[in-house]
Every structure is written in structure tokens, then in C-alpha cells.
Amino acid sequence: FETAVRLGKQDLGDRTVTTAPYQPGDKQTFYDGDKLVEATLIAATDHTYFWVDDSLDLPPARVQAAADRFETEYYGRLTNLFGDVWSPGMDNDPHISILHTGNGTDDELGRFNSDDEHPRTLYDRSNEQEIIYMNMNELRLGSDLYYGTLVHEVQHLIQWYVDAGETRWLNEGLSQLAEVYTGFDDTATTIDYLENPEISLNDWDFDNEYPYYAASYLYSVYIWEQLGDEAIKELSRHPANGLASVYAILQGYRPDTTLEQFTAAWAAANYLDNPDAGPRYNYESLNLRRPSYKESVLRDETLDVTHTLEQFGVHYIDLNKLRGETIITFAGDTTIPLMGNPPTGSPLVWYAPVVDMLDASLTIAADLTQLDQATLKYNVWYDLEDEYDYGYVSISTDDGNAWDLLVPDHHTIGEFGPAYNGRSAADSSAGNGWLKESISLNSYVGNNVLVRFEVLTDDDITGQGMALDYITIPELDWTYELAGDTAVAQTEGFIPSGTTLPQQWSVQFIEGGPNPTVMPLPLNALNQGQWTMDIGKSGGVLVIMPQTPFVNESATYWLNVSPAP
């Protein structure tokens, strides 16, 4: 809302609206997707309104019972663990509306839409209240799946308020944790991930969501069981997002464990799930089947393969049929590209990695008071969700109170005006994915100015973000080239980054038996290693995971498993 006012210069009126409290029997018209729905308030508790679409035939007594159970058994537990709902909220009424609707699809049980947390002057189909939609075409009132869906969506409502920028994958994991935490441990499933463990833990594919739901579910439950309630409280509220927030809370709860070690232990736990292996490798709340193997090696055979694997995906290599001394040789990529190298060849650039509901900015001050003309030049790289996520360049002459959008040569029209969108590499003039920009600042000479680069995203993200290099105003004989030089810049969400990052790997050997053990296998500086393992009758398994964050590029490794001579 505030960004729309600042960049769009729209008169949006008040941020919130005021409504009178509702009473059972009252009616209200809701936007439900692209339809208008007339609904009646059947039950009201201290924190909820239970509305029912008038086209549905739900027994009022059962609706009241569901409302009472949610109020007394689940609402307090959810807010205690995950945080508070915005209250009195968008409509200045402390109640959450739960709309039971018949206007849903067979792949959606319920939903939360953050548009409803804004006035209709910004989103014309906003219901202007805290609201959850329950698809009663797919749910039975009062069933475990009904309550599991309800607590799942309420966690999303809470998360929007306490940390709106959380990554989709972790947000979904926390919502599934809410199901387990409130006693519904059979409403979320793990099988879709265990059959596809090679997918990236910290990514999302809208065309194939179920394995990603299952991966984030397992990881969130693992964090909860390993670190406890207090860690989840911090995680859900932490301003960092995704794996960065997991890294942050590990500093307080497992200071001797790195993020990479913790996540590698999770991968081993997904294979073992066995209390006899120790608490690090066991789930108390879940009972897992074995994940799928990438390869199985037969006795007296040699395995020699090269595989590509997504970051934080896992390959399990089955060595259970082997016996005796076995030589295992591994070599993995040592670097991974984050983006193409900029035209200047600079080792560092300013980079804004994309997360949900992001507002990242890089603001630079410049004194144009002694100039007759001025030009802003810079190099830009971007990968932003088509038609939804945008990068803007703006300027202020009054210390940031008012802003004008600038018009880059390679712009499209964004939500608020000229903007970057899509992929810079798709432009025919791009070099290695980078574009060179030059914008006249002649209208602003004679002033001290602030120049701001800004990335804005919605709550369904794809893409890798935006990067900047070699920002200059030649007339000032001034160049802002070194990403680590923060003397003249203010940054929120932009970080100094190389365009190529070190590729990190985890390779572990799990020895079977009544008391399984997990052995991390060390790699040298070139990500190479060779080990001789004496595999007994209980067999063993290799667990391989590339572990470089922020990067969407897959990594490649070579593996050889041979009988010892």
C-alpha cells in the first residue's frame, strides 16, 4: 500500500476500513475469485466469524461446533507458536472470517489471499478483512482434513503479518507443521518427496507442487523436532527468509552446527528415520518409508556415473548388496554460476535475491547542485516473474519524501510505471545477460538527489532476482563500482555477491545394521575424495547433496564405486 502511494502517486485513501461487528444471521457479499458470493454468518467466537455460502447446505449446529472447537483447541496454539494475526486488522474488527464456499477447484482445499489485507482502492476484489476460504466441495465439515486445512491456512494468515516476505517453500512447510502441531499428522503427506528426493528443497515448481510441499513439510517438522517450539517461534518471525532464516536460528540453538551440516543430517534422517541411529536421524512425529534410490550397485560390479542434481536435492546410492572392501571416488563441480559476468568483469555486484513480498532497495546519494547536465549509467541483470515482479529506478529531490520514476532504455510498463520485468538475457542487446543503461538526469540538476533501484515482488514468485554493477554519473567523475563500498549507499535486500559462487557438497555414508551410523565423507578443496569402505552384511548407502544457496543452477558430480583390488 505504502509503495503504491509512493511510486504510483495514487490517492488510495485510508490504509484500513472500519466495519461494525457482525452478529449471527447477518449477511455479507464476498468476492470469491472471479465470483460474488452471498453468505450468512452462522457462528461467532472471540476470534472468528464462520460464514457459509448461501448455496451450501451445512447444518448450523455443526458449523457452530466447528467454530467452537477451532476457538478452544487450535487458535491459541497457533498464535502461541507462529505469532499473532493482524488485529484489529484491515477492517478494524479482531475477528477472522472463515468463508465456507462451494466455489473451488478439486486441487484446492483452502486458501488465504493477501489482497484481502488491502483496500479495494488498491485491489478491486479485496474483501478488506482477515479471511480464509474453505472449499467445501472437497472438505467434510468437522473432519480431520477440514481442521488440518483450516490451521494450515491460518498459519499463512499469521505469516503474512509477522513476516510477509517469507519464501513460499518455507511458508508452506510451516503451514504443514501447523497441522502436525495441532494433532493432524495424517493430513499432510511425505511420499511425493520421498519418491523424488532429487528436487530442490528451497525452490518451488507450480506445475509440480506436491513433491515440494512434501519436502518443505519434512524439513519444517525436522527443525521443530530438533530445535523445539522456541526455535519455531523465532523462525516464523525472523526477518530473514528461507534457508537464511534457518541459518540465523541455528546460531542460537545449535551454534556448533552449520546450516550445511544440519541439512545433511536431515537428508540422512529421511533415509533412516530410526531411533537406534540417534535423535538426529529419527522423526518422533512421522513414520517414513525409504526414499527412492538414484542408483543401486550389485555385488562385484562397478558403478561409474556422472549425474546432475539440483541444489539441496538428494541422491541416495544403494550399496546394500555390496560386501567387503569397496573404493568410492567422488568429484563434484567446484563453482556454480549465479548469473553471467558483467561487462566490467567486476568480481562483485549488488544482488537482490527474490523472495515473496519483497521490497529490496539500493539508494545512492548524489550532489548535482554544480552541474548543468547529468546522466545516470549502470549495468543491470534481472530475472523477474513475468507480469508480476518488477524492478524500478526512481529519483527524489526532497530527501525521499517524493519520488519520480525514471525511464530506462530497456523498460516495460510495470504496475506503477516504467520498470524491468522478465529476463534481461532475453533482450537482443544483452551481453552475457547484462544490459547497459543510460538515463538523462538533466531535469534534476541543481539539486541534491537520491537515486533508488528497487525490486518489488508479489506472493507467488519465480525468477532469481536483480543485480547492478558500475553505477556512475560521469559528469561528477564518480563511479560506484565496488559492490562492497557502502559509503554512499543505503541497502535493504541488496547484498554484495560474486557472479560465480563456490559449489558446496555433502557426501555421507550410512552404515546399516541394528545401530546405523552416519559418516560424513570429507572432500578436498577441489571437491574430490576417495575412500575405502569395508561394507559388512548390513550394507550401506551414499547420500549426496549439493549445497549452494541462492542458485537455481544444477551441479554435476562424477561417482565411481568399485571393489577393492
Asked whether the beta carbons of 228 and 212 are under 8 A apart, the reply is no
Q: Which of 311, 315, 264 is nearest to 294 (CA)?
A: 315
Report which residue type is found at 386.
Answer: D
1-162: CATH architecture: 3-Layer(aba) Sandwich (3.40)
The one-character DSSP state at 162 is H
pLDDT-flagged residues of the chain (< 70): 9, 461, 481-488
Q: Which tens digit of pLDDT belongs to each residue from 26-51?
A: 999 999 988 999 999 999 999 999 99
Distances (CA, A) of 349 to 121, 448, 470: 38, 25, 8
Q: According to the CATH classification, is domain 348-498 in 2.30.30?
A: no
- The confidence score (pLDDT) of residue 348 equals 87
Through-space distance between the first and last CA atoms of the chain, rounded to whole angstroms: 69
What single-letter DSSP state applies at residue 75?
A: I
Q: Which three cell numbers stand for residue 163?
A: 513476516
> How many Å apart are CA 318 and CA 330, to the nearest integer?
15
* 529 touches 329 (CB < 8 A): yes
CATH of domain 293-336+502-563: 2.60.120.380
Residues 296 and 509: beta-carbon distance below 8 Å: no
pLDDT value of residue 7: 80
Give the integer Cα–Cα distance in Å for 344 and 470. 7
Q: What is residue 481's predicted lDDT score, i.e. its pLDDT?
A: 61
In angstroms, rounded to a whole number, what is the distance separating the alpha carbons of residues 59 and 65? 10
**C-alpha distance from residue 508 to each of 267, 271, 532, 549 (Å):** 10, 12, 13, 19
Q: What is the pLDDT of residue 552?
A: 85
Listed in sequence order, the residues at least 6 apart from 350 whose beta carbon sits closer than 8 Å to its beta carbon are 362, 453, 467, 468, 469, 483, 491, 494, 495, 496, 497
**Residues 6 or more apart whose Cβ sits within 8 Å of residue 145:** 109, 139, 187
Q: How far apart are CA 480 and CA 511, in angstroms?
A: 54
pLDDT recorded at residue 236: 98
User: Which candidate, 458, 482, 522, 546, places its Cα nearest to that of 198?
Assistant: 546
Please report the pLDDT score of residue 487 as a whole number: 46
The dihedrals phi and psi of 213, each to the nearest 5 degrees, come to -55, -45
Partners of 562 in the beta sheet?
327
Nearest of 113, 175, 130, 112 to residue 148 by alpha carbon: 175
Task: Establish whether domains 293-336+502-563 and 348-498 are of one fold.
Answer: yes
Closest among 297, 266, 261 to 193, alpha carbons compared: 266
| Residue (of 141, 96, 150, 113) closest to 31 by Cα position | 113
Cell numbers representing residue 105 in the block: 477447484
- With contact defined as beta carbons under 8 Å apart, do 177 and 217 qualify? yes
C-alpha cell read off for 37: 458470493
Which sequence spans correspond to the domains of the chain? Answer: 1-162, 166-292, 293-336+502-563, 348-498
Q: What is the pLDDT of residue 2?
A: 76
d(CA 463, CA 455): 12
DSSP 17-31: ---PPP-TT-EEEEE
Q: How far apart are CA 373 and CA 516, in angstroms?
A: 72
